[in-house]
Structure 1
């Protein structure tokens, strides 16, 4: 079945190889991904940033392991923001997690294989319930992969967002005491990860929205003003590609609730 189309097409998101290279540092401030050296991967990333996630994944996979990162990212962004069928979403996250394990074996020093492993398992956990996922040992896998990511790429802002989510979700679902003793979850440590992400990538709508969500889960009404401010800031971020546009639109939706 064909993937759903990106609903906000914009010519500003369509790049040539030259314009992609010029925009690359800003577009990849979140994941610290190096500019691709193969022409086929340049085309895959052009497709990704324009919102053609299915083509991006297909082109990346055709290259093999060097193309896994764009395939991981395209699959995860599509599953997170556009796929409405829960079974299909979970299947995509499972595929990415399995592919990441192969990448880790072949490219042990590539942070992408660890970050997308943590991301896909984390999203899968949210889909099946965090408590059930923790019982299956996913918590340790997510934490280990995020630790490896930030060890290999200390400036990986998106990994810090994921770490913040990790702390918040575990504390919210099993409590601060069990979360801390069993999984190393700590509320303030999670908040520090969100602030680090924003320092590394100040233009990130995702960092603001996920920080707001964590504050809402863990501090409730006490932090309501800060929560709404963060969502408002996220909604006002200027999107430079399809991924960022989806994140901005998600923040706008939160403000309408």
Structure 2
């Protein structure tokens, strides 16, 4: 694969398989991924948590099995946060969606196979425009996959965040009436999902950022003060790994905008 954009805070984290295993519960409080037994998969996760996303993908694909989930997460995070070229970003996201779909075909009870399929298609949809994606039927696929994720793993905080964002984005782009009738999007459901995510994982910077975004989309100016408080809380968080560092930088950028 072509050389990827480097994580801009290289050296901030120095995980190895042993420290990943020790910190697993906290590192995976968002995605509820089970602790792998395969040392090669743990090594791939160490690359991921350190921000070496390209090596995480290569190691994950080589390890196979649970390593595919590492590869999917590393590709998706790199594409969403670091890839500068829109065309490359969309191609990477579709790679994740296809790999995750293949995982589901092999094991339809793999919660993160459903989740990364939904995440990739959701970010792809934002890239091509939510309205266009809805017209192509991607919205229904995203919603169904996220609901399946939560049904399989009720403690999947990130899936709650993403499903909350689905409801908010649809209502924001096509309105409450069409969004509700056609896609089952509801303001109250979206806000509840964000709150549930933070109940599951109170320290999640991305849950704070996305909840703030959702409040602005669904409630407008009257919730700007609360949204700003959430951005400030996220910006002040202490990152446990590279992805959380990127989420915190996202919160800081929101405050600066």
TM-score under structure 2 length normalisation: 0.98
Deviation at 1:163, TM superposition (A): 0.5
Tell me which residue corresponds to 1:7: 8
- What's the Cα RMSD here? 0.9
Q: Distance in 1 between matches of 2:175 and 2:29?
A: 33
Tell me which residue corresponds to 1:113: 113
Aligned residues: 256
Deviation at 1:58, TM superposition (A): 0.9
1:174-216 deviations in whole A, cap 9, x for unaligned?
0000000110100111010000000100110000100111111
Q: Is the 8 A contact 2:21 2:42 kept in 1?
A: no
1:16-62 deviations in whole A, cap 9, x for unaligned?
22211111100100000011111111110000000000000111111
Q: Distance in 2 between matches of 1:5 and 1:17?
A: 21
Tell me which residue corresponds to 1:176: 176
Q: Distance in 2 between matches of 1:21 and 1:63?
A: 17
> Structure 1 residue 211 and structure 2 residue 211: aligned?
yes
Deviation at 1:153, TM superposition (A): 0.4
Q: Distance in 2 between matches of 1:169 and 1:66?
A: 31
Q: Distance in 2 between matches of 1:45 and 1:73?
A: 10
Provide structure 2 residue ranges, at least 5 long, that are not aligned to the other structure. Answer: none
Q: Distance in 2 between matches of 1:21 and 1:158?
A: 20
Q: Distance in 2 between matches of 1:227 and 1:202?
A: 16
Deviation at 1:90, TM superposition (A): 0.3
Q: Distance in 2 between matches of 1:244 and 1:10?
A: 14
Q: Is the 8 A contact 2:36 2:66 kept in 1?
A: no
Deviation at 1:106, TM superposition (A): 0.5
Deviation at 1:75, TM superposition (A): 0.4
For residues 206-245 of structure 1, the aligned pairs below 5 Å read 206-245=206-245
In terms of mean alpha carbon deviation, does 56-65 or 91-100 score higher?
A: 56-65
> Structure 1 residue 163 and structure 2 residue 163: aligned?
yes
Deviation at 1:10, TM superposition (A): 3.4
Q: Distance in 2 between matches of 1:243 and 1:66?
A: 19
1:37-95 deviations in whole A, cap 9, x for unaligned?
11111110000000000000111111224311101100011011101110000001100
For residues 49-198 of structure 1, the aligned pairs below 5 Å read 49-198=49-198
Aligned to 1:58, the other structure's residue is in SS state helix
TM-score under structure 1 length normalisation: 0.98
Provide structure 1 residue ranges, at least 5 long, that are not aligned to the other structure. Answer: none
Q: Distance in 2 between matches of 1:27 and 1:66?
A: 16
